[in-house]
Amino acid sequence: MTRLAVRLRRFRRLFILLAVIGPGLITTNAGNDAGAIATYSQAGAEFGYQMLWILALITVSLAVVNEMSARMGVVTGKGLADLIRERFGVRGTTLAMVLLLVANAVTTMAEFAGVAAALELFHVPKYASVPLVAIAIWLLITRGSYPVVERVLLSIGVVYLAYIVSGIVSHPDWGEVIRSTLVPHPVPSLNYFLLAIGLIGTTIAPWMLFYLQSSVAEKGIPNEQLPYSRVDAISGAIFADVVAFFIIVAAAVALYGKLDAATLANMQAADYARALEPVVGSAAFILFGIGLFGASLLSGGVVPLSTAYTVTEAFGWERGVGHRMADAPAFFGIFTGLIVIGCLAVLIPGVPLVSLILLSQEINGLILAAILVFMMVLVNDRRIMGRYVNGRLINTIAWATVALLVSLIGLLLAFSIPGSPLSG
């Protein structure tokens, strides 16, 4: 009898975990989009295993930031934009919203460009693939309820296993891989440093912070289930970086030392899939292609969704995928608008996609710094968080992360602003 009770309790726990899990995994997976995959591939191709230790450190930062987001979502039942508007007023919020809207619109374009590139690997023309994918995403999110949307987004995440498999089938030297991950060994080169910043920048984006907290809030998770939400947020960070890890490994095995710097600088995610084919065979090519398609598909849905949540929260309009379109017109309007813009940018010839994407990365870096500081203020405010404010240890790690990120972002901006002494 007691054994049955214990077993039942275990099942109950598992059930709650399964119910609570989702936002963290979806957010971090969606963060591993086409741009991120290109950065990871380049890290492996250019520096072999020498960047793995940095990835390990980033994972800790990402886990800490994710945990704070999830905790704020559970405890307040509000999104990050809600809290920023209520605490910091109209001025800061409006500025952040305008910048975020621009950055997210461009990011959406990049995701649809990723869809086009991935399916072109399999000889599907973009004029067929992009509109079809856009309509599929739109139908899913406007017609589905939140649980349905979440389950579909979660299952798209399974394609990331493709990258893990391709990392394993590339047969790396495991001893060397583990040593490189645990022992820091920086390479004194400008390119190494820049790529390290890029690695951090692609792993944490402002829209991710907003999306994670909004979707946790929309699930209405009670305070007692906070531990499960933490598991979701932290395991999301770990899973996403394990995927990144295997992409770097696969690229390192296949391409390290085989490509010159000029070629590397211009390679996109799909180019790496092509480059892998002659070295590791068509299996890796197919796996990389599938992974890229899934990643772009997921992010192509999540980034517009995140934007819709964020802007409607800031101005207090009705929102949530659970509503009918007539009840939340602004929410569905922003979502639809971004998808249309993203889609058109890829299909209309002559749109300067590459320079737009660079611009959006700079804007993202700029707002990320501000948003992280806002987050730290909010998560430590007792009027908002009650007894769920940060503990001393978490605060130390979090502020260190914020300080590191902010200074790296500052450097990245200094490098990328034309005419500055640091820019190449």
Q: Which residues bind other proteins (CB under 8 A)?
A: 75-78, 82, 85-86, 89-91, 94, 315-319, 327, 382-388
Q: Which two tokens stand for residue 291?
A: 């992974």
Asked if 107 and 338 count as a contact pair (C-beta separation under 8 A), the reply is no
Asked if 357 and 35 count as a contact pair (C-beta separation under 8 A), the reply is yes
Query: Rounded to the nearest whole angstrom, what is the least distance from the CB of residue 80 to other proteins in the complex?
Result: 14
Looking at this protein, which amino acid is placed at residue 387?
Answer: R
Q: How far apart are CA 128 and CA 112, in angstroms?
A: 12
Q: What is the CA radius of gyration of the chain?
A: 21
Query: Rounded to the nearest whole angstrom, what is the least distance from the CB of residue 234 to other proteins in the complex?
Result: 23
Is 125 or 316 the residue whose CB approaches other proteins more closely? 316
Query: Rounded to the nearest whole angstrom, what is the least distance from the CB of residue 364 to other proteins in the complex?
Result: 23
Looking at this protein, which amino acid is placed at residue 409?
Answer: I
Collect all residues with Cβ–Cβ distance below 8 Å to 307 and sequence separation of at least 6: 100, 101, 104, 105, 108, 207, 334, 335, 338
Is 352 or 386 the residue whose CB approaches other proteins more closely? 386
Q: Which two tokens stand for residue 29?
A: 């997976």
Query: Rounded to the nearest whole angstrom, what is the least distance from the CB of residue 222 to other proteins in the complex?
Result: 10
Q: How far apart are CA 58 and CA 181, in angstroms?
A: 12
Query: Rounded to the nearest whole angstrom, what is the least distance from the CB of residue 91 to other proteins in the complex?
Result: 6
Is 78 or 230 the residue whose CB approaches other proteins more closely? 78
- Would you say the C-alpha torsion 23, 29, 34, 40 has a positive or negative sign? positive
Query: Rounded to the nearest whole angstrom, what is the least distance from the CB of residue 309 to other proteins in the complex?
Result: 12
Is 23 or 198 the residue whose CB approaches other proteins more closely? 23
Q: What is the number of H-type helices and E-type strands within the chain?
A: 19, 0
Is 223 or 396 the residue whose CB approaches other proteins more closely? 223
Is 281 or 386 the residue whose CB approaches other proteins more closely? 386
Is 74 or 413 the residue whose CB approaches other proteins more closely? 74
Query: Rounded to the nearest whole angstrom, what is the least distance from the CB of residue 213 to other proteins in the complex?
Result: 13
Integer CA distances (angstroms), 38 to 65, 236, 291, 332, 411, in order = 24, 20, 12, 31, 21
